[in-house]
Amino acid sequence: MLSIVIPALNEAANLERLLPELARTCPGAEVIVADGGSTDGTADIVRRFPFVTLIVAEHGRARQMNAGAALANGRVLLFLHADTMLPPNAQRAVLDAVCAPGVAGGRFDVRFDNPRPIFRLIATMMNVRSRLSGIATGDQAIFVRREVYDAVGGFPDVPLMEDVEFSRRLKRQGSLAYLGIRVTTSARKWDREGVGRTILLMWTLRFLYCAGVQPAHLHRWYYGGRGNTTTDGGSSSKSDASRKTGDIT
């Protein structure tokens, strides 16, 4: 069985679109929404769908995903952002992929919901970079065999780069499957902050992380100018959950 874990924080509108789609595209899959303390009616939306399990988790994407995974019963876990839509044949593709010998997990190719040519180029860059580096980002709907997830200890409890570090750990456990079918994710981050600025920011964060700068320091640097630093280094403020800074292009 496939278990789909969705970390959410003030994602009522996106979940209202996503959850009915999951009922159609992933019939029989277990769906768990791990809410990090939403104030926009996210919980009310989730409760409309009896096939979805709602849990309240400590705020922070890694913590929410780990909390959801702790309750999951599936032999394969798929971590899905609330603003990312799976293709119709996603469930079968994932289960087939992890049946291959030596495959620890994988991810999908991605495209954006904005048709502008620049977003097609960005998506292509993300997919190519991921195949070359073996690193997946959360926007690409990472999936993993349950026993591998347990072996690596789940997602690291860091405020940024949890998906990058998780991918690195997966690569030590086996090969990764790169599915050519595409999930469709929101371009809201890019629209809001500007394409050029976002690319520069994301690559700066990635470079500093690879150079050894701790995720908590990167988090304070990124959010410091926005008045959204945290004292424990564990997560961003609730108002900035949609910035998706853990997803490095």
Q: Render 85-98 in DSSP notation, one character per residue.
A: E--TTHHHHHHHHH
- pLDDT value, residue 245: 37
Among 172, 161, 175, 247, which Cα is nearest to 211's? 161
> Per-residue confidence at 241, pLDDT binned at 50, 70, 90?
very low
> Per-residue confidence at 244, pLDDT binned at 50, 70, 90?
very low
- pLDDT value, residue 226: 46
Are 65 and 80 in contact by the 8 Å Cβ rule? The answer is no
- pLDDT of 191 higher than 70: no
Per-residue pLDDT, averaged over 154-178, amounts to 92
- Mode of pairing for the β-strands spanning 103-112 and 175-185: parallel
- pLDDT value, residue 221: 65
- pLDDT of 27 higher than 60: yes
- pLDDT value, residue 223: 60
- pLDDT value, residue 207: 60
> Per-residue confidence at 161, pLDDT binned at 50, 70, 90?
confident
> Long-range contacts: 201-206, Cβ < 8 Å, 24+?
202/245, 202/247, 202/248, 202/249, 203/248, 203/249, 205/160, 205/161, 205/245, 205/248, 206/164, 206/248
**Residue 119 CB-density burial (10 A; 0-12 exposed, 13-18 middle, 19+ buried):** middle
* Residue 222 CA: distances (Å) to CA of 23, 97, 193, 204, 208: 37, 36, 13, 10, 12
- pLDDT value, residue 171: 93
Q: Which CATH architecture has domain 2-187?
A: Alpha-Beta Complex (3.90)
Residue spans of beta strands (DSSP E) within the chain: 2-8, 30-35, 52-56, 76-79, 84-85, 103-112, 143-145, 175-185
pTM surpassing 0.95? no
How is residue 186 annotated by DSSP? -
Are 181 and 235 in contact by the 8 Å Cβ rule? The answer is no
How is residue 166 annotated by DSSP? H
- pLDDT value, residue 108: 98
- pLDDT value, residue 39: 95
Cα–Cα distance, 17 to 221 (Å, whole number): 33
Look up residue 141 and give its two tokens: 């709907």
Per-residue pLDDT, averaged over 65-77, amounts to 98
- pLDDT value, residue 192: 72
- pLDDT of 47 higher than 90: yes
- pLDDT value, residue 188: 79
- pLDDT value, residue 229: 33
Instruction: Give percent of the chain with pLDDT exceeding 70.
Output: 77
Q: Where are the domains of the chain?
A: 2-187
- pLDDT of 109 higher than 50: yes
Q: Identify the residue with better confidence: 210 or 77.
A: 77
